[in-house]
Amino acid sequence: MVNRTTRAFGCPNKYIQGPGEFNNIEKYTRQFGEKVCFLMDGFLFKELNHSLVEIYKETSSDFIAINFEGECCEAEISRINQLCKTYGATVFVGVGGGKTMDTAKLCSDRQGLPLIIMPTAVSTDAPVSEIAVLYTEDGVYIGSEKMKKGSEIVIVDSEIVISAPKRLFIAGIGDALATWFESQANKASDSANYVGTGYRSCLAGMAVSKMCYDILLSDAVSALRALDRGVVTESVENIIEANTLLSGLGFHNTGLSAAHGIHSGMTSLPSTHKYLHGEKVSFGIVFQMILENRPTEEVNKIMKFMVEVGLPVTLEQVGIEATEENISTLAKKTYENALIHHEPFRVTEGLVYAAIVTADELGKSYLK
């Protein structure tokens, strides 16, 4: 339970979303000086670096581009910061997926530089939050770190994110879908949110979380059809906003609970490392519904939706063989994570184990 009555709401300074916004990046970085440090995903580095050369060549601004090497860990942060300091950057820009953006947050925060975030996919809500997740060099979850302040600008180019693999778009739906479930748990347990040192949720945070949920259920199927044809429709823009802005504001201002708690537990099983954050959180939603004994009608509606959009609902779908050893390890690691204890009732390791087993069986029944 939060130990204060004060409520708070946090967010980036600006959020900008639309087709072709990457081409305007120099206009945005110029507000913070003329020496720009870009950190970019490796698989897009060559293409985006070439585009940046064209964008910046007729301007007074200059940039350095650093290739992200794949893991948000202390060694990578140190390497990037050394390059950035040597260059003398006035603004830091993170372009890529969740771990790239988290690394950009940590680098800019430790250097005291203004930060611009530009996701190349909408697979998580990381762009909007002031939280970064640290891992070991081998990809094992260590913990979260809060930034001193939010990003100056979050820029989402619709044309770029729809060209990313469809799997990433779907994973983002899974991550975003958890927002409303987890916000309700935190509200009921009066758990602190992630603003500063943690405050009570504002009504705005709960409203944003519910809006995120409603948009996903109304527009996700239509958006995925448009995605199959490589076009941007209003439903696609709505899901981009839900996956990124609404989900990010929702979780940052209301908190996380069981669905993300089991995700953290999954990182202890190497077989899950090839699966995306939102895919693992997706099974976490099934787990949380069982843990909380949600009404049958609600469970049925959500399970049908998840299967229809292609979200994982079983352990096997996130790389976990349902053996006694694996489930026991997962239950133990999940129970040891603080997030599971944001639920509004006492949670035991045995209860976590039972909910994992039952959630897996439930998921199997919807795949038949």
* CA 84/CA 173 separation, integer angstroms: 34
What is the residue-wise DSSP string for 253-275?
HH---HHHHHHHHHTTSGGGTTS
Burial class of residue 232 in the structure, from the number of CB atoms within 10 Å of its CB (0-12 exposed, 13-18 middle, 19+ buried): middle
What is the residue-wise DSSP string for 56-97?
HTTSS-EEEEEEE-S--SHHHHHHHHHHHHHHT-SEEEEEES
CB count within 10 Å of CB 123 equals 27
HSE-up (13 A, CA, CB side) for residue 306: 31
Tokens of 254: 């209301």
Nearest to 348 by CA among 359, 360, 361, 332: 332
Instruction: Give the 3-state secondary structure percentages of the chain, helix then strand then coil, rounded to 5.
Output: 60, 15, 30
The DSSP element (H or E) to which 344 belongs, if any, is none
User: Are 127 and 277 within 8 A, CB to CB?
Assistant: no
Catalytic residues: 175, 260, 263, 277
* CA 117/CA 246 separation, integer angstroms: 16
DSSP letter assigned to residue 246: I
The DSSP element (H or E) to which 7 belongs, if any, is strand 7-8
Residues 6 or more apart whose Cβ sits within 8 Å of residue 189: 1, 257, 342, 343, 344
Nearest to 205 by CA among 230, 235, 173, 180: 180
* CA 133/CA 144 separation, integer angstroms: 4
